[in-house]
Amino acid sequence: MEKWSERLSTLDALFLELEDRTTHMHVGAVAEFEGKPPPYRDLLALIDARLDQPLGQGRPVWVDETQFDLEYHVRHTALPAPGGEEELKRLAGRLFSQALDRDKPLWEMWLVEGLGNEKGERFAIISKTHHCMLDGISGVDLATVLMDTEPSTNPPPPAAAWEPRPPPTTAELLVDSVKDQITHPLRVAKEALEANNDARKLLREIANGVRPILDLAGLGFAPPSALNRPIGPHRRFETLDLPLPTLRKIRRALGGSVNDVVLAMVAGALRSWLAARGETV
């Protein structure tokens, strides 16, 4: 079988490099569902049927996990009594406080039972994926792959047997790294030649390449406040219910998207909180 690897982009590699014991770089989500939780083995079969082969010294590379164990990544747990929203949030906070294991594919999922309240029996799925693998938009895309919009009693078809491709050797990785370091500036020079001295096109291409790095670097120069002091590894998870029809009404009146409305609300709340503390906004 042919060996396979794919080098991370510069921005995705930065998400790995910037992570430390207090700065987690994973993206977490908690989804609640009405009804009885599915049997754990059924959830494993669902995830297994919808898994696809992943994307893909210098920047790190993606390789297939030769010892992939789905049960390591999809886990099963239950909330302590009384099994309400507070217990779920405490569990999510503990899980999000733990860094992902770099020796495994950088994602985890928990089926959470025991979530019951006045609305009846419910369950939740908590997921955690490293930012180098997905962002907000690709996270939504992944959710649409894993979850159906209509209920179905038909089990997913069995997944085809998956054979991991062997990773490259250390020597092959070293050669590829050297080649990447050499060809990157050559690609820039090639683009300059192909631009036929079109300075505006060249500057635009360069700007598009370095903008994510500059944006990340700019985060370190925010004025000191209660929001950017040194923190520990522990996290708390909180939720707020908002009526979607109201958000859509605001969107129609002011323009933008529902995400824009939520972002404006969060930014306004943070501004008011900082101003109430006498901090410069």
Residues known to be catalytic? 131
As given in the structure block, the two tokens for residue 178 are 């050297």
3-state SS record for the chain: CCCCCEECCHHHHHHHHCCCCCCCCEEEEEEEEECCCCCHHHHHHHHHHHCCCCCCCCCCEECCCCCCCHHHHEEEEECCCCCCHHHHHHHHHHHHCCCCCCCCCCEEEEEEEEEEECCEEEEEEEEEEECCCCCHHHHHHHHHHHCCCCCCCCCCCCCCCCCCCCCCCHHHHHHHHHHHHHHHHHHHHHHHHHCCCCHHHHHHHHHHHHHHHHHHHHHHHCCCCCCCCCCCCCCCCCCCCCCHHHHHHHHHHHCCCHHHHHHHHHHHHHHHHHHHCCCCC
